[in-house]
Structure 1
Amino acid sequence: MVSTPNSPQSGFFWKPLLITALALLAVRIGVLLLTPLTLQGDEAQYWTWSRDIDFGYYSKPPLIAWAIGFSTWLFGNAEWAVRLPSCLFQIATGLVLAMLGRRLFDDRTGLWAGIVWMTLPAVAFSSLLMSTDALLLTFWALALLQWDRLVKGGGWADVLVLAIAFGLGLNAKYAMSYFLLCAALHLVISREARRGLLTNALKPIVGFVLGGTMILPNVWWNAAHGWATVGHTADNANYQGIVLHFDKFGEFLGSQFGVFGPILFAAFILCLPWTRQRIAALTAERKFLIAFSVPILLLVCGLSLMSRANANWAATAFPAATLLTVHVLMSRPVWIKASVALHVAVALLLYGAVVMPDASVRLLGRDPFKAIPDWTDVAREVEAAAQASGTSVLLLDDRMITASLSYALRDRPLILRAWNHDAKIDHHYEMAWLYRPQDDGDRVLLVTPHGVDAIVDAFDQATVLPPITLHGRAGRDRTLELRLLEGAKQ
Structure 2
Amino acid sequence: MAWPWLGATLHVDEAQYWTWSRDLEWGYYSKPPAIAALIAASTTLFGDGEWGVKALTLALTALTALSLGGWVAAMSREARRGALAALLALASPLLLLLGFAATTDVPLLLMWTWAAWALWQALQRPASAWRWGLLGLAAGLGMLSKYTMLAFGPGALLAVALVRPMRARWPQVLRGGLLAAGIAALIVAPHIAWNVQAGWPTWRHTADITLQRSDEAATLGLLAFALGQLLLLGPMALALLTWQSSRTPLTERTPDGDDGRRRAARFALALSTPLLLLGLMQAARGGANVNWAAPALLGGLAWLALRAPLRARPVAVLLGAQVLLVAGLVHAPGAAAAAGQPWPRALDLWARMRGWDAVWANLGQQLPPDPAVVIGSSRAVLAHGQYHWRDRKVQWLAWDPARQARHHFAWRLGIDDQGLARHLRANGNRPVWLITDSPDAVRPLVANGMAQDKPAAVAHWVDAGGRRLTLWAWRLRTPLGDEP
Residue 291 of structure 2 corresponds to 312
Bigger Cα displacement from structure 2, 213-222 vs 87-96: 213-222
Question: CA 1:200/1:373 → structure 2, altered by over 3 Å: closer, same or farther?
Answer: closer
Bigger Cα displacement from structure 2, 192-201 vs 81-90: 192-201
> Matched residues in 1 for 2:336 and 2:373: separation?
34
> Matched residues in 1 for 2:148 and 2:397: separation?
31
> Matched residues in 2 for 1:360 and 1:195: separation?
68
- Deviations 1:281-310 (Å, cap 9, x if unpaired)? 994212211211222212211111123210
> Matched residues in 2 for 1:32 and 1:215: separation?
35
Residue 248 of structure 2 corresponds to none
Matched, 1:180 2:153: yes
> Matched residues in 2 for 1:482 and 1:456: separation?
13
Residue 382 of structure 2 corresponds to 402
**Superposition deviation, residue 381 in structure 1:** 3.1
Identity %: 25
Matched, 1:431 2:411: yes
Which secondary structure does the structure 2 equivalent of 1:292 belong to? Answer: helix
Contact 1:261 1:339 in 2 (8 A): no
Residue 41 of structure 1 corresponds to 12
> Matched residues in 1 for 2:54 and 2:358: separation?
21
Residue 256 of structure 2 corresponds to none
| Equivalent position to 1:164, from 107, 113, 137 | 137
> Matched residues in 2 for 1:387 and 1:31: separation?
27
Contact 2:105 2:294 in 1 (8 A): yes
> Matched residues in 2 for 1:75 and 1:134: separation?
18
> Matched residues in 2 for 1:200 and 1:182: separation?
15
| Equivalent position to 2:362, from 368, 377, 381 | 381
Residue 290 of structure 1 corresponds to 269
Residue 21 of structure 1 corresponds to none
**Superposition deviation, residue 179 in structure 1:** 0.9
Contact 2:17 2:36 in 1 (8 A): yes
- Deviations 1:399-431 (Å, cap 9, x if unpaired)? 012111111101112222111121221111112
Contact 1:353 1:360 in 2 (8 A): no
How does 1:57-456 map onto structure 2 within 5 Å? 57-105=28-76, 106-154=78-126, 155-192=128-165, 196-240=169-213, 245-265=218-238, 283-330=262-309, 336-350=315-329, 352-353=331-332, 358-359=337-338, 362=341, 368=348, 369-387=350-368, 391-435=371-415, 436-437=419-420, 441=427, 443-450=431-438, 451=440, 452-456=442-446
Contact 2:159 2:270 in 1 (8 A): yes
Which secondary structure does the structure 2 equivalent of 1:475 belong to? Answer: coil
> Matched residues in 1 for 2:36 and 2:447: separation?
36
- Deviations 1:145-171 (Å, cap 9, x if unpaired)? 110111111512212221221111100
Question: CA 1:408/1:363 → structure 2, altered by over 3 Å: closer, same or farther?
Answer: closer
**Superposition deviation, residue 73 in structure 1:** 0.8
**Superposition deviation, residue 71 in structure 1:** 0.7
Contact 2:272 2:295 in 1 (8 A): yes
State the one-letter code of the partner of 2:434: L
> Matched residues in 1 for 2:166 and 2:474: separation?
65
Residue 249 of structure 2 corresponds to none
Bigger Cα displacement from structure 2, 471-480 vs 398-407: 471-480
Bigger Cα displacement from structure 2, 54-63 vs 436-445: 436-445
Count of aligned residue pairs for this structure pair: 452
Which secondary structure does the structure 2 equivalent of 1:413 belong to? Answer: coil
Contact 1:64 1:135 in 2 (8 A): yes
- Deviations 1:205-228 (Å, cap 9, x if unpaired)? 211221122112111222222211
State the one-letter code of the partner of 2:432: V
State the one-letter code of the partner of 1:386: L
Which secondary structure does the structure 2 equivalent of 1:214 belong to? Answer: helix
Contact 1:249 1:308 in 2 (8 A): no
- Deviations 1:344-379 (Å, cap 9, x if unpaired)? 102432454477563365597989344544223322
TM-score normalised by length of structure 2 = 0.84
Contact 1:151 1:197 in 2 (8 A): no
State the one-letter code of the partner of 2:164: R
**Superposition deviation, residue 136 in structure 1:** 0.5
> Matched residues in 2 for 1:352 and 1:236: separation?
32
> Matched residues in 2 for 1:328 and 1:313: separation?
25
Question: CA 1:357/1:102 → structure 2, altered by over 3 Å: closer, same or farther?
Answer: same
Bigger Cα displacement from structure 2, 49-58 vs 392-401: 392-401
> Matched residues in 1 for 2:41 and 2:106: separation?
16
Contact 2:377 2:398 in 1 (8 A): yes
**Superposition deviation, residue 249 in structure 1:** 0.6
> Matched residues in 2 for 1:266 and 1:194: separation?
40
> Matched residues in 1 for 2:265 and 2:63: separation?
23
Question: CA 1:69/1:198 → structure 2, altered by over 3 Å: closer, same or farther?
Answer: same
State the one-letter code of the partner of 1:480: L
Question: CA 1:179/1:458 → structure 2, altered by over 3 Å: closer, same or farther?
Answer: farther
> Matched residues in 2 for 1:269 and 1:314: separation?
23
Contact 2:405 2:414 in 1 (8 A): no
> Matched residues in 2 for 1:455 and 1:182: separation?
52
Which secondary structure does the structure 1 equivalent of 2:432 belong to? Answer: strand
Which secondary structure does the structure 1 equivalent of 2:410 belong to? Answer: helix
Residue 477 of structure 2 corresponds to 486
> Matched residues in 2 for 1:324 and 1:65: separation?
32
**Superposition deviation, residue 133 in structure 1:** 0.6
Question: CA 1:342/1:241 → structure 2, altered by over 3 Å: closer, same or farther?
Answer: closer
**Superposition deviation, residue 472 in structure 1:** 4.2
Question: CA 1:316/1:372 → structure 2, altered by over 3 Å: closer, same or farther?
Answer: closer
Which secondary structure does the structure 1 equivalent of 2:292 belong to? Answer: helix
- Deviations 1:246-295 (Å, cap 9, x if unpaired)? 41111111111221112435778999xxxxxxxx9994212211211222
Contact 2:12 2:353 in 1 (8 A): no
Which secondary structure does the structure 2 equivalent of 1:311 belong to? Answer: coil
Question: CA 1:232/1:200 → structure 2, altered by over 3 Å: closer, same or farther?
Answer: closer
Which secondary structure does the structure 1 equivalent of 2:433 belong to? Answer: strand
> Matched residues in 1 for 2:466 and 2:362: separation?
19
- Deviations 1:29-75 (Å, cap 9, x if unpaired)? x9858754211311100101101111111111000000000110111
> Matched residues in 1 for 2:359 and 2:121: separation?
53
Contact 1:268 1:324 in 2 (8 A): no
State the one-letter code of the partner of 1:415: Q
Which secondary structure does the structure 1 equivalent of 2:476 belong to? Answer: strand
